[in-house]
Amino acid sequence: MEGTAEPNGYDHQQTNGHNGESNGRTEPDYTKSFDNPYQVTEPREGYRQVNDTFDPVTGAYPRISRPVELIRPSYDVVVIGSGYGGAVAASRMARGNKKVCLLERGKEKWPGEFPSEIIPAVKELHTTNAATDGLLGGIGKLGTGGDPTGLYHLIVGDGQNAFVGNGLGGTSLLNANVFLEADEGVLNLPIWPEELRPGVLKPYYKRAAEVLEPKKYPKDFPKLHKLETLEKQAKLMGWSEKFDRVPQTTRFEDGENSTGVYMRASTLSGQDTTGLNDGSNDAWNWGTEMFCQCEVRYVTKAQDREGYIVHFAWHGGKRANFKDLFYEDLMWVHAKELVFFGAGSIGTTEILLRSKQFGLDMSPDVGHGMSGNGDILAFGYNTSEYVNGMGREDPPPNRPVGPCITGIIDCRTGVENPLDGFVVEEGAIPAALAPFYQAMLTYLPGRVFPENISIKGAVGHVTAAVGSRFFGPYFPDGSTEKTQCYLIMSHDSSQATMQLDKDRPLINFSGVGKSHRAKKLAGYLAKLTNLIGGIYVDSPFYAAFGEKEITVHAIGGARISNDGTGANGGVNHKGQLFKGVEGDVHEGLIVCDGTIVPAALGVNPFATITALAERSVEHIAKDFHIDVDLKTKNGSLNLFGQPAHDPFKGEHPPVARVQEIIKTARDDMTPGIAFTETMDGWIHFGEDSETLDFQRATLTAKSRGEYARFFLSARSWNTHNLVHDKEHEANLTGTFTCPALGGTSMVQGGKFNLFNDDPRSPDTTNLTYNFLISQKDGKKLHFNGYKVVNSDVVFNPLNLWKATTTLYCTITEVDEDEQPVHNKVRGKGVIHIRPTAFLQECTTMEATGSSLYAKVSSTANFLGYFTAKAAGAFLTPFIPQIWPSLPFNSYQNPTPWSEEITVEANDRVKTKLYMWEPQTIGGDASNAPILLFIPGAALDQQIFALPTIEKNAVNYFRAKGYRVYSMVHRVGKTIVAQQNWTTYDARRDIQAALKKIRKKHAIVDRLDGSGPSTTTYVVAHCAGSLALASGLLDGSIPRQWLSGVTASQVFMNPKFSKVNHVKASLPISMANIYNLIQGKWFDCTSTPRDGYIQQGINQLLRFYPVGHRNEICNSVVCHRSSLAFGRLWSHKGLNEATHSQLENFIGGASMANLNHLMYQGTHGFATDSQNENLVTPQNIARLKGLPIFFFSGSENEVYAPENTDTSFTTLTEANGGVCYERQVFQHRGHLDAWMSPTAHKDIFPRVEQHIQNVMNEKYSRLEKYTSGNLLGLKK
């Protein structure tokens, strides 16, 4: 409860009766808006008043507080509370060029936003049961309830209750703005220290008055009946000389106040007690950053750096719905130098006591010496005078209510004992209570009737009561309009205490209402009432609830010590907090509100608290060498614009980024959406985090108890952008809790991306979380987390739940620009949303907007998008297919060739050969080793020079110093392929390419006949490998032309996978059926403009068997290529860029070639075009001495992995095992061996290892020493 506050000047409130006003107009700046949704609400017009703090164009009020999303991790000064003292501290420190953060528990409200009716008022009421017995009087228990950030806060204690305000401005939003100094008799009591004897505070009262500009109600203003009634009562009591009009900070004329805000004169509505402010915001103009809905819980000394940590619970984002975490995972802000406590007596004392529990040393006197300032509330009901003491929004011009308090009977002088002094002031009842006023006054017990009332007087009482009942509370002749409201301030024992019991504050004011002095004062009020024929009625709390008074001026709790030690007070005369019972203090912890007042003042404490705060801040500024600028005037302030001073300009880019997002959304008045989420699990921190995968890291974290949790509020200020922009971005704010990082860290300026396409994997979307982790010691780390939603969830609700509730987390170090350093991993693991947490999360969803329609639309858009994306993944086979796109030119890694060569085979078929020069740094590249890539059917050189991955095969081998060639044979992705060629025919193109290479590089055979002086290493994939094997087997490609071979996925013993085998073994060839219906060519691409048969095929292929559900996708090209050849990849092995552009990399196949492939795949050997077996002993002998590396992917769905094992075993048995190697790569499919973004980590290095072995003649030497029988196999 960021408690009581002073009005006018400093950073906040000055009352003007109902509404405040500023003068200028510039473009509104909603960047600093508090994040409760603004409403377009026309301001009411009252007497002599039009509210200038409402923009009729945008329908919004100014917001000088900032969304918590913009809070910075560290400030020079943190001020807790925006009340009397907090406002002074924030203003003066900001004027001292300090970077100031102000935290306020309540909300920011402006005229037109305060409740004026009972139902809205009740919604703003928050109750705290601080009674030790948990009882309200004796009638039963009253629990703590209501909105903790509500405007009205009722604290129920033992013996007395307290009423304070929550909001930007504290209780000054509700008080009557009476500016009266404490009398010298009180200040001369021994409870006050020598440093504060009478006269010391005079200059500070003066300084406060210069800012606050108190004035008495002008005598030439309209007559106020309640004021005249009080004056009459004073005369009848013989107290005429004690009556006066109170100085108050209410505005009675148009014009700028002392801080430059243009104010209209008061409406004289009497509504001061239900909420007023004017925005007289000196602290704001000097750069103080104010944050609302921030309930400070405690303060600790910062570890490993200077200053203090202020821990607070943020009520935004409905975070309080997570009851178990709300007060555990606290947010915090670092104060480098100073923390000022200005949360009001009750609020500050609670914070201090809790800080003590968390290890902050302080005096045992804290929590003692509290006072209700001798407050007594009572009523003079149904008098003979017209009082007009009920507030109303629009009072008649001839019968204004006036300010809440206007007059005073000051009985502080002429008494022997200053403690016998008191003041009586008249008041106004809020309009929200008017309908219940009569019933409350009629039925409350303990009423005191006037003595010797006449029959006429009795009849008048009855008539007036009936009039109010039937004609309403504002009936001029009714009993309620003849009721005077009293507020007494006097002296009590100042012995109230507060303690924390199970984190609940317990307040004991025992005996306040039952004291002799209280009863004597009640007698005075009864006499005042009876003298004008009225019935005296005690306050509702006193009369009905066990003789409990209510105070609106709670003071004390960390009182000023009268001897400079902690033995007799909580703070020294400067407000600095004692560390114990001696004189040592926390130099940077200063209490500057009513908490330090050592005893009841017997008068409104507003002026004294402000003066004490001014003095305290002045002394602290001197101690810390802070030069406070008290001379510079603000000029005319425009609260819709920017502050004149910005000490943070250019700092903290994440805050600047979010600030710009907020400003744009506010300017455009766009509806937004917000929700809060918590996830927990296990994150391992250690040097091995980088090398561990998520599963192993999580298991390691579990074994070590490395628990982690975040508690984050996601907010988008523009739901349309969240749903439709490519980034689908929202902001993240909250906490990350992990013992390994020292407890709770702050999350600020984070990014949440909703269902973004995952560039690493096709048909996969991610929900990503990226944010800075700010640790309490000042260090920072970067958190990256992602949820994976892919085809694993198809028709599987459990998998869908797991996908959307499982977050894969990586924590890395950051560089000096706070950007992640990806190779410096500090932590890794997996966290989850628990089902109970998900249900709580659903209750936190909150839309913002200017109308109910905007809010409903915002919610519908967000939920519609979320549902559509989740349902789309769940129902992938039924959602719209992905068609080939327009030509794509913006590749990640374009790999242009150095030379394009036309090759003509011996049957005059022309194909292409591409060459890339080696990447050499100096030196001669003319003798660079030569590497030839041969792609498979329907493919071209692009699978080796893939432009959609960061490092492709051509990049890799060029960087290693190879001259790289890649050919496109006649069954590849070329127009020639439509002419019914087979893989056996393609051997001619390979022969021609090798001849071209030999000629180009003048490759000649050695004189001894052992082979050429320079040879070519060949990497052949799939059908290209079959074509190469066919040429080697039939002798058309001499073995001596090759130094070695990598056979990718197949060589001379093709064996189909299960699905392909079933498809190829059908009684009637599918290729023949297609040939009859559609012709001899099958294109793997298709468009929506294709004919009905092609469209029918496309629709049927939605359900083509692809294996595990995580291989399901919606790409038409992927489906059609799977039909022709089998599934060509494991989808996790392709990135999205590749999968979305398959039409650029895959062509088609002729029915002749497909039939040829199916025959070979079902029979298990390479054949010629007439299906004659080429794998004969004579042909196998031709391969003797040729090093071959066979490899397969374990998840190959085109050719079963055992096909390369068959070739390996066959050649080993026939020719010896020295020259042959084989490997199965786990988690690899077919083409993703070459097209995967990660192939450079496993496939390419293994191939290069084989090439190096060949170049180093490893196999020749082994052959010599083992006579070709390395494995001991029969030749």
What are the tens digits of pLDDT across the range 215-252?
Answer: 999 999 999 999 999 999 999 999 999 999 999 988 88
13: left (phi over 0), alpha (psi -120 to 50) or beta: beta
* Pair 927, 1027 in one domain: yes
Q: What is the pLDDT of residues 1135-1147, one digit of tens each?
A: 989 999 999 999 9
Comparing 464 with 146, which gets the higher pLDDT?
Answer: 464
* Pair 873, 887 in one domain: no
Backbone phi and psi for residue 1226, each to the nearest 5 degrees, phi listed first: -70, 145
Whole-number Å distance between alpha carbons of 1189 and 1045: 6
Whole-number Å distance between alpha carbons of 1188 and 1166: 17
Label residue 175 by pLDDT band (50, 70, 90). low
The residue assigned the tokens 């007036």 is: 464
| Per-residue model confidence (pLDDT) at position 1274 | 35
Q: What is the pLDDT of residues 1201-1228, one digit of tens each?
A: 999 999 999 999 999 878 999 999 999 9
The mean per-residue pLDDT over the stretch 915-939 comes to 88
| Per-residue model confidence (pLDDT) at position 27 | 34
The mean per-residue pLDDT over the stretch 977-984 comes to 96
Residue where a domain stops, chosen among 878, 912, 938:
878
Residue 977 maps to a domain: yes
On whether the CB atoms of residues 150 and 138 are closer than 8 A, the answer is no
Q: Examine the pLDDT at 39 and tell me if it is beyond 50.
A: no
* Pair 961, 861 in one domain: no
Label residue 1263 by pLDDT band (50, 70, 90). low
Look over the chain and give the mean of its residue pLDDT values, rounded to a whole number: 87
Residue 796 maps to a domain: yes
Residue 12 maps to a domain: no
Residue where a domain stops, chosen among 843, 878, 913:
878
Least confident stretch, 217-221, 222-226, 540-544, 834-838: 540-544
The C-alpha torsion from 203 through 205 and 207 to 208, rounded to 10°, is: 170
- The set of long-range contacts for 141-146, using a CB threshold of 8 Å and a minimum separation of 24, is 144/504
Q: With the C-alpha atoms ordered 1026, 1027, 1028, 1031, is the resulting torsion angle positive or negative? A: positive
Whole-number Å distance between alpha carbons of 1023 and 1031: 12
On whether the CB atoms of residues 937 and 1157 are closer than 8 A, the answer is yes
* Residues in CB range of 468: below 8 A, 6 or more apart: 438, 475, 478, 479, 480, 481
Q: Name the DSSP class of 496.
A: B
Q: With the C-alpha atoms ordered 645, 650, 655, 660, is the resulting torsion angle positive or negative? A: positive
| Per-residue model confidence (pLDDT) at position 1044 | 96
Q: What is the pLDDT of residues 693-702, one digit of tens each?
A: 999 999 999 9
* Residues in CB range of 839: below 8 A, 6 or more apart: none
* Pair 909, 1025 in one domain: yes
Residue 1144 maps to a domain: yes
* Residues in CB range of 280: below 8 A, 6 or more apart: 7, 8, 9, 10, 12, 13, 14, 20, 257, 258, 259, 261, 263
The mean per-residue pLDDT over the stretch 161-177 comes to 75
Residue 700 maps to a domain: yes
The mean per-residue pLDDT over the stretch 970-977 comes to 97
What percentage of the chain exceeds 90 in pLDDT? 65
* Pair 1136, 999 in one domain: yes
| Per-residue model confidence (pLDDT) at position 1152 | 96
Tell me the residue range of the domain where 869 lies: 653-878
| Per-residue model confidence (pLDDT) at position 20 | 36
Residue where a domain stops, chosen among 842, 857, 878:
878
Of 716, 754, 756, 757, residue with least CA distance to 733: 716
* Pair 845, 914 in one domain: no
Q: In total, how many domains does the chain have?
A: 2
Q: Are strands 125-129 and 152-156 parallel, antiparallel or unpaired?
A: parallel
Helix (H, G, I), strand (E, B) or coil at 853: helix
Of 368, 401, 370, residue with least CA distance to 386: 401
State the CATH number of the domain containing residue 1166: 3.40.50.1820
* Pair 755, 900 in one domain: no
* Pair 916, 792 in one domain: no
Residue 855 maps to a domain: yes
H or E element at residue 813? strand 806-814
* Pair 1171, 1229 in one domain: yes
Whole-number Å distance between alpha carbons of 1191 and 244: 102
| Per-residue model confidence (pLDDT) at position 516 | 83
* Pair 960, 863 in one domain: no
Comparing 164 with 350, which gets the higher pLDDT?
Answer: 350
H or E element at residue 915? strand 910-916
Q: Examine the pLDDT at 1270 and tell me if it is beyond 50.
A: no
| Per-residue model confidence (pLDDT) at position 47 | 31
For residue 598, count other CB atoms closer than 10 A to its CB: 25
Residue 1153 maps to a domain: yes
Q: With the C-alpha atoms ordered 737, 738, 739, 743, is the resulting torsion angle positive or negative? A: negative
Least confident stretch, 269-278, 309-318, 407-416: 269-278
Q: Examine the pLDDT at 927 and tell me if it is beyond 80.
A: yes
Least confident stretch, 201-205, 604-608, 1074-1078, 1152-1156: 1074-1078
The residue assigned the tokens 């409860």 is: 1
* Pair 871, 954 in one domain: no
Whole-number Å distance between alpha carbons of 857 and 700: 46
Residue 467 maps to a domain: no
* Pair 1076, 1149 in one domain: yes
